[in-house]
Amino acid sequence: MSWWPHCLIPTAVTAALLAASPAAAQDTPDFAAIAGTFEENCVACHGGEDAVLGLRLDSLDGVKRGSENGPVAVPGRPGESELVRRIKGISEPRMPLTGPPFLDDAQIADIESWVAAGMPGTAAPGPEAVAPPRHRPAPGESVAWSDVAPILMKRCVKCHTDGGLRGRPPEGLRLKTREMVLAGGERVAVIPGNAGASELVRRIRGQSRPRMPLDGPPFLDGDEIRLITDWIAQGAPDDSGRRAPVPVGARVRFEGVLTGRWQVDGTPVTVTGGTRIDKPPRVGDGVEVRGTVGADGSVLVQRLRRR
Ligand code: HEC
Ligand code: HEC
């Protein structure tokens, strides 16, 4: 993620690209002309106080300041600018990390000519300075997908997406959209209405290991964990408040501490005559649970094992 070797593109090629780009035909490129592209494709991760790598693309100052590794753009030298190299895929991973789709040719050309022109723009306060801080639902209030999406985007999607930092999404779990979060991967990670048995919640709390995000600490803060927990407890609703269906019959697997007969970390699970119990656990023991989701969102345990 550091500075890459300089200038692999011959200047002639760059010049040809510039000449062909629509923005080059216009008078002078201005930050205002590309701010929308950043807003739409980058700011979900590279915006705000907790921007990924400290790189804020939500204001001219932020772009000029660069990341914790240093500047990402050199005025007048797009070929040496990590910003340009990332959107073209010359440096990897290519940005936006959520791609494909990546930026289209015209958007790339506009950013390239803006850097080539010396990164001009009026240093007006960025949207973050003007917009009021995002309202977060207080405990007890309804939580919508759009309240939790920014947390997943900044802290989780970098690995849990196709072509993320780990190549394939770990355990097949993609976390980019609500549909993906609900679909889960090899198992479901979210049981709407049953946060305690949802592996996604258990992982961010550290009840199932390894704790997520895998690159923590820092892990999520208490407020972020509460928001995600409440969202799932409330049925993982979309932005119009519609609850997600319970994925009846889907497979789940998690580990935790047996806190009663039968509950794991305080969450009741259904153990029947058909449950296979290996190495019979006692209350206080660490256990692994495999099962399926029942019609009411409870976990029907197929196999319970002391760890
Ligand atoms: C899903 C979150 C996400 C999105 C969306 C995203 N990025 Fe990134 N970006 C990252 C992560 C994570 C890294 C660090 C990757 C690595 O290990 O190099 C990164 C690294 C970068 C870097 C390198 C910074 C440095 O100092 O090495 C640049 C430049 C960059 N992104 C620009 C962009 C641009 C431009 C967009 C939009 C077109 C974008 N990113 C969209 C997550 C994202
Ligand atoms: C640096 C990469 C990385 C980041 C960032 C990351 N994860 Fe993971 N995640 C992994 C890996 C690798 C695994 C598989 C680990 C294992 O269980 O051995 C995993 C596993 C999981 C699982 C278990 C899936 C299952 O079916 O067992 C869940 C749930 C999960 N992550 C959620 C999250 C959440 C939520 C975040 C953000 C708060 C997050 N992850 C951030 C790499 C990451």
Residue 208 Cα to ligand 2 middle (Å): 10
Residue 68 Cα to ligand 1 middle (Å): 12
Task: Report pLDDT for 123.
Answer: 60
pLDDT in tens, 69-99: 999 999 999 999 999 999 999 999 999 999 8
Residue 214 Cα to ligand 2 middle (Å): 6
Residue 1 — pLDDT band, cuts 50, 70, 90? very low
Residue 88 Cα to ligand 1 middle (Å): 12
Task: Report pLDDT for 127.
Answer: 54
Residue 132 — pLDDT band, cuts 50, 70, 90? low
220 C-beta closer than 6 A to ligand 2: yes
Task: Report pLDDT for 163.
Answer: 85
The stretch 52-78 carries a mean pLDDT of 96
Hunting for tokens 């936006």 — which residue is that?
Answer: 96
| Average pLDDT, rounded, for the chain | 89
45 C-beta closer than 6 A to ligand 1: yes
Task: Report pLDDT for 124.
Answer: 60
pLDDT in tens, 99-124: 889 999 999 999 999 999 999 997 66
pLDDT tops 80 at residue 150: yes
Q: Which stretch of 47-56, 190-199, 234-243 has the lowest confidence by average pLDDT?
A: 47-56
293 C-beta closer than 6 A to ligand 1: no
Measured distance CA(87)–CA(106) in Å, rounded:
12
**Which atom of ligand 2 approaches the CA of 216 most closely?**
5
221 C-beta closer than 6 A to ligand 2: no
Task: Report pLDDT for 136.
Answer: 87
- Phi-psi region at 277: left, alpha or beta (left = phi > 0; alpha = psi -120 to 50): beta
Residue 190 Cα to ligand 1 middle (Å): 27
User: Do 264 and 256 contact (CB within 8 A), yes or no?
Assistant: yes
Task: Report pLDDT for 184.
Answer: 97
253 C-beta closer than 6 A to ligand 1: no
Measured distance CA(104)–CA(199) in Å, rounded:
37
pLDDT tops 90 at residue 4: no
Measured distance CA(144)–CA(167) in Å, rounded:
29
The stretch 140-168 carries a mean pLDDT of 93
**Which atom of ligand 1 approaches the CA of 165 most closely?**
17
**Which atom of ligand 1 approaches the CA of 161 most closely?**
1
pLDDT tops 60 at residue 58: yes
223 C-beta closer than 6 A to ligand 2: no
pLDDT tops 50 at residue 8: no
170, burial (CB in 10 Å: exposed 0-12, middle 13-18, buried 19+)? middle
User: Do 137 and 230 contact (CB within 8 A), yes or no?
Assistant: yes
pLDDT tops 50 at residue 245: yes
